[in-house]
Structure 1
Amino acid sequence: MSTKNAETSGSATVRRYLEAVEREASTLPADRRQELVADIAEHIEIALAERPGDIQDILREVGDPRVIAAAALQESGTGTWEPPRRRSPAWVPLLLMLLKYAFWWNFWLLMLSTVLEVAGVVVLYRSRHWTARQKWLGVTSIVVVPHLTLVVTNLVFGHASPPLYWGVAIVMVMGVMPLVAAGWLWRTRKH
């Protein structure tokens, strides 16, 4: 790799690192966040001047962006320090909650998927990919409303088949609504 390509690659690595720090510190006031990123950028620049080519080692020494942001939040009084949690991928809670709809046909698989659905709700609520409002809307659309629809349908119609228009409405609420809500959650997730 030529020296110019190495420099370009190094600056891209540093830029991504600084973007990660800024993203993790997004709850800091804007001026404090900019000051934090500028301080870290200056530190990296000085270290690179002393040891050119050791970008990965320098970034490792500077630290994990989540830890830096958490420390800055604690220092500013706007947050508490927590060790960084491993983020579960955004698709995990969605898959766990949607598995129930794939296994309606078998009682044991339905029971297993119900346990997985509960796990999906827990993972969703612990996730940092969505706001509290998005989580609430997602769980309501994917889990609560379809279950309530099933209960009401059984109470109203019992073992009799519902009329066609009710059947279509029930299929839409129990089949289409969870898929649409999962798609919406997927599109609105934070990266």
Structure 2
Amino acid sequence: MKLVILDRDGVINRDSDAFIKSVAEFEPLPGSIEAIADLTRAGFTIAVATNQSGIARGLFDQAELERIHGKLKADVAAAGGRIAHIAFCPHGPDDACACRKPLPGMIDEIIETLNVPADAERWMVGDSLRDLQAGIARAYRPVLVRTGKGEKTLRDGGLPPETIVVDNLAQFASFVMKRVNSGN
């Protein structure tokens, strides 16, 4: 199994400091949907791990989040791809849960749900340090995209060793598919 876990806001779709609260506000970044489809066709299993504290803050409810994720899955399917699982944390930053990134609870959910073998090739793609930290906790290779909060994260420094930095999700897809095709 080749597994790629993606953060959502800032990696797949435009991020907003005011939160993505509705389907109308969900706007995929250029090339991201196609990148997911390309990865799927290349044999990668795709999952999403996303902090959604807007639920705890009362900005939107779980039903609206499910509609947003339904649109994401439909867009990816229309492009010829598939998202195998979406894990989300509905808690706020002070709720002391085990799922909110940088903790690895959502990664664990994905591993269990998809029955990911220990020897799987595993990647974690995010735009923030906490995304990468969640993946590192479970031995995922960290990838920082410059989209979303990625440029700020890069400027702040402190990235995990061996973090791969790419411009966007499409560049990551191209990189990892070339790597797999060359046997590296």
TM-score (norm 2): 0.22
Rg (Cα) greater in structure = 1
Which has the bigger relative contact order, CA under 8 A and spacing at least 6?
A: 2
Structure with the higher helix share, 1 or 2: 1
